Structure 1
Amino acid sequence: MDASLAPYHHHHQELRRLAREHEARLAPALVRSHPEVCLAGAQALLTTVKAHLSMENTVLYPALLEAVDADIQATARGLEAGLEELKTRLRQFSHHWPSAEAIRLAPEAFIETSRDLLQVLRRRIDLEEARLFPLVERA
């Protein structure tokens, strides 16, 4: 593993762990009976995702867009452009689920939007790890 990618691999592992924990709390009975627990888990995930994206936006992607390797540049450019979907989902999720009461009023919608967000997050992590990171590690 390229040492410069170690923090990103670590973050991805942490994001996957938090995603699994959030997903485990999406049982309809749990969402209905303990929306505050579900909200706390979602907020922990969102906080970690936002910190990770900030690190990628300020350190990783600017460096990769300046890389000598044209394949790294092109892949980074494509993935950077695709970040908007995840950012949009994060904003929408935060806006729609600001409180346990909001979850209590629409538990099924919370479950659905949570699963959608988790799918987008996992897809993003998988793309970076399958397409971008191997190029950087080989360079």
Structure 2
Amino acid sequence: MDIERFKQQHVQILQIIHRMRELAAAGVAENASGLAREIRLMKSKVALHLSIENDILYPRLEKRSDGQIARLAREYREEMTALADGFGRFVERWGAESALGGDPEGFRSDCNTVLKALHRRIQRENTEFYPQVEAL
């Protein structure tokens, strides 16, 4: 199964995470505009990625006769629901420049939690899930 599109989207999301970390390290309040822009960009990239996974990839894999890959697809889809909810709350809270400048430490804390979870999930998909999908 060809999943290059999914892997490329992961690269793009990881690049945004990297830029956000750099901006935050240089100062949240000082870089509030850039951080808000990156949050909005990541929101659109993550939404597109999740939409395609949920509408195409997972349903197709869950119908496979291979019980192992069908089970993994279900687990990954279910796990992503909680992560997506947390990411949505993060975007809602921190998507505006004014919110970032008003509570830099709150942003750093939330950002660290959400981006770490998203990064960890992408790495798991890249190393555990996608190789099995590509082998089909």
Structure 1: runs of 5 or more not aligned = none
Structure 1 residues 77-86 or 90-99, which shifts more? Answer: 90-99
Contact 1:75 1:131 in 2 (8 A): no
Q: Per-residue displacement from partner, 1:35-92 (whole Å, max 9, x unpaired)?
A: 1111111111121111111111111111111112111101111111101221111221
Structure 2: runs of 5 or more not aligned = none
Contact 2:61 2:70 in 1 (8 A): yes
- Structure 2 matches for 1:52-91, cutoff 5 A? 52-91=49-88
Aligned to 2:124: 127
Measure the CA separation in 1 of the matches of 2:109 and 2:132: 35
Measure the CA separation in 2 of the matches of 1:109 and 1:86: 19
Offset at residue 96 of structure 1 (A): 1.2
Q: Percent identity?
A: 25
1:11 equivalent in alignment to 2:9: yes
Contact 1:71 1:135 in 2 (8 A): no
In the comparison of the two structures, how many residue pairs are matched?
A: 136
TM-score normalised by L of structure 1 = 0.90
Offset at residue 34 of structure 1 (A): 2.7
Moved over 3 A (4+): none
